[in-house]
Amino acid sequence: MSDADRTEHTAPLVAVLDYGSGNVHSAVKALSAAGADARLTSDRGLIRDADGLVVPGVGAFQAVMSALRESRGDEIIERRLAGGRPVLGICVGMQVLFENGVERGHDTAGLAQWPGTVTQLDAPVLPHMGWNTVRTGAGSTLFDGLEGERFYFVHSYGAQEWSLEVTKPFAEPVLTWCDYGTPFLAAVENGPLSATQFHPEKSGAAGIRLLANWIGALPRH
């Protein structure tokens, strides 16, 4: 079999970053169900060579950032994006892509891939837990065929503003919003960097389809 045939017939390799964030095995299972060769790993060589990298996140912004820095996961993410290699953040894995997170009085520096601060949602009941619909941005790859579907959220904080200015030849990011008390970003698609505030791996068939859309768009190496 030629290299071209091998690439065509093998599943895309997706690394799920293992940096100590809890409850990530469901993400690995969902990615596998969506058609990826998904592996939970901290191996820098495997992560470097993977077609896609998923950054999960559970818990507090500050704790996730501390674990990322201790494991040098922040460097791994930065190097992949510098090379234009796809990364998908999930839940707090999305939040830490912004400049800062303010949570329970703690102002913590994030990865600063996007400007802005993650703050507590202005809603009468927190956390925002359960199924909700989203307002999908035009031209979305992630939500192709998923208009009107519901996704599963568990969070009290989110990015409630978007201020990144993009100039040509770079494409405008695709922003998907959700409403809970006030609008917040449910997903962002920005070149090689995508993220969802909700949990695709807990969102049933719609979540698997979204992951399959992301996997199907990965450049093969």
* Active site amino acids: 91, 199, 201
- SS3 of 55, please? strand
Please answer whether residues 55 and 88 qualify as being in contact, where contact means their C-beta atoms are separated by less than 8 angstroms.
yes
CA distance 12 to 15: 10
CA distance 208 to 33: 7
DSSP letters for 92-144: HHHHTTEEEEEETTEEEE---SEEEEEEE---SSSSEEEEEE-BPPTT-STTT
Please answer whether residues 51 and 219 qualify as being in contact, where contact means their C-beta atoms are separated by less than 8 angstroms.
yes
